[in-house]
Structure 1
Amino acid sequence: MRFKKLSALFVTVAFILSSFATSAFAAPTKPAPSATVVVDGNPIKISGEQPFVDKGTSFVPLKPLFNELHIALQWNNSAKTLTGIKGDLTIALKIGSTTANVNGNAVQLTAAPRIVNGTTFVPLRFVGEATGYAVGWSQSTNTITLTSKVPQAEASKGFMWKVQNNGNTVYLVGSIHVADKAMYPLRKEYEEAFKAADYLALEVDLTQVDQATANSLITKYGVYTDGTTLKDHISADLYKQVTAILKSRNIKENALDTYKPWVVSQIFSTFQTSDEGYDPSLGIDQYFLNNAIQTKKPIIGLETYEQQIQMFASFSDGLQESQLNETIAEYNNPSTDESGIDQLTEMWKEGDENTLSALAQQISSNEEYYKAMLADRNAGMAEKVTGFLNSPDKKTYFVVVGALHMLGQDGVVTKLRAGGFTVENY
């Protein structure tokens, strides 16, 4: 079983843990050595101040990057704002601000543009992806690559079902929480169903969770308070592997000593998915959350962030150590991960229900993990969806939860069908 990658299909907690990891542990307090930037196989020639990686974000001098990508630059020195124009694309950034703008739509950045020794630096991933490039990063060679994407032949199929009862309609969408832009566009049926819905229901309503609250909950449930540390709870060899990963990322080797194995496992997971070019902010649930905020559609949380944190914290010491061991194995040998994020993404794009059902069955091999992650939570989700369907209000609900919650012997779709509802593939 692959704990780490499969979590992209059934737990929202990774989204905020990604921000937690980035802000607290992602990189050294000073910029890493100069990085090489390669666009479609050709290194960018940069004189003067060089690109660097800081706190997990790659920064590149503005002018040579825009020149290489053929982006026309407009700079307002007094307002410290810059605008890039390429065809029908307009991107706008402001020095010191983590909010950018793409064709009039606000986009949250992982880090703000900055001026270093008189040179303006911009976050490379944002600029690259906004202009249609796939962005990759090789830690071993300190190289950032931008590769032109082949236009997607057709929209992603994904997983969606429709249920109707008592004048109410529920659209069930199986999400992948950590994604990339290759998963878009979605089928028109998604957009139409979302537009018709009176409510958006998610695992967790992230509009109700700020980073400070999330961090305090991680500290409350994920930090040792009995005087012990991480190395008292895992094998000496596993602890050695933890410190080796931290050292490789220029992080203090004891930086995670106070944290429980489940937190360390999740942090390492966010490091790897980020290194591989995947981002929680591009997840399917986040996509519809952004749309709901923009259209002022009411949002319902099926669970709370604290409930998800408590679930991880309830895992036995043995399960936590096993999770961490597997996460590190995947981190060190990503090519051997048969349920890697690339494979999960392809499964979602193709709407492959057979593989999705098989993955749910695979998780059932670990009774403790399966019960907490799927069986118990699926029962709660199915109960709430049943409430929507039996409501006298005659409303439409667009429900987006991790795809692994949907199928299998305890899946939400399975439970609804067993309860007498007709659930159609949509």
Structure 2
Amino acid sequence: MREVFVGIVLVIGMAAGPAPAQKSGQAGVDVVAPETTDTPPPVPAEPTAPDGDASLTAALETLGATFPEGEVAAFRTYLDGLPPGVTAATIGHLMYMRRHWDKAAWFFGTDAVADPTDVASLNNVAAMLAEVHADADGALPDSLLLAAHDAARAATALDPQGAAGWNNLGRIALVLGRAAEAAEAARRATELAPDEPLYWSNLARALEAAGDSAGAAEALARARALEPNGIPYLSARAALPSGGAYSDALARVCNVNFRCQEICPKSIIGGIQSVTCEIENTNAQAACLEGKPYPTAYDCSEDLPDYGILIPGLNSGFSACVPGFCVHVLVDGEGNVDARVEAGASVGPVTGYVTADGHYSPENGFSYDNVGGGVRWSLVNGSTAGNVASGLGHPPVHVEAESTGGGPVSVDIETYNMGVISI
């Protein structure tokens, strides 16, 4: 996604009716789904200019000239036959969802020309015209971008409390090279919606263009604090200078703390994991200081080994086996207990078995999962040690077919229940 679109907020809605519900949209875009009304708005057969300004009408004519021959006339005929409650803005919304920016701009613009007081359509046509202009890479005249600017200014005049409109105006002004206006509009957006990282990222871009690197650094730091790995921040960070005021401002929000000593189990294995956790915490802190994406949490849970007897000194637990039955138990310092039970019978080199995992914690009580079973075929037979190990469920070398939790059957070649080859 290009820089222009990342910074433009698309507001899709209806001029009449209750406030619509917000939905998630493209990166850097707030999309508000339209609601239908019982009264169809006026949709002219041909766009007419807003009072005193023909720039939007001219932009629609310029845009329509790029469509296949006869398509604009077909669109106008289609609009004439829309059922009650369906508007040109509704069709613009559908075009936007299908990423047809030029068609979306035409339909939003048609709706805005029909009703110059429709804030949503003014905002939408401004966003889409700017996107189409950027996508054309110089093939379309700047009059489209100027029309987008006029529409955005009209939207903020009609709705001065709409943060999305000010953000639109700021980004379009910045593309036009009007840095002071862009910074003023972006500042207004952050004042109205201080928890939106997109607006702070756009303010950073505008302030840098206006020559205020210190202010831009503070705005970028605010965006990062709100969403460390968000696309708005990462995109702005890549476009803005490094070092100096930016390094200082970003360093102040780089307080990465995985709380390793709190989240890692109080056991020998947990102690080993806590060391890894601290290393990952240091790496994340370094990435944060460099302005790169970084993890904000660490999983330090202690899992029961998949196979075999627990290793003394590394796990707080034990294994006990008798012919036809084995149980492996793991206990951590918090009073949590995990157990794996296997039971079965052997006929010669073949052992059939069932297995299940049980869990106990002081907070949640007892539960079990991973119920399943399988068959083992011993490949080494005849020796006393091999027969004893096979009887305890641990053939020295064997082929195993197992399924747990209703999952697919896995086939493994193992030695003492430790996987060597999996199929």
Q: TM-score, normalised by structure 2?
A: 0.23
* Greater RCO, CA 8 A, separation 6+: 1
More strand by percentage: 1
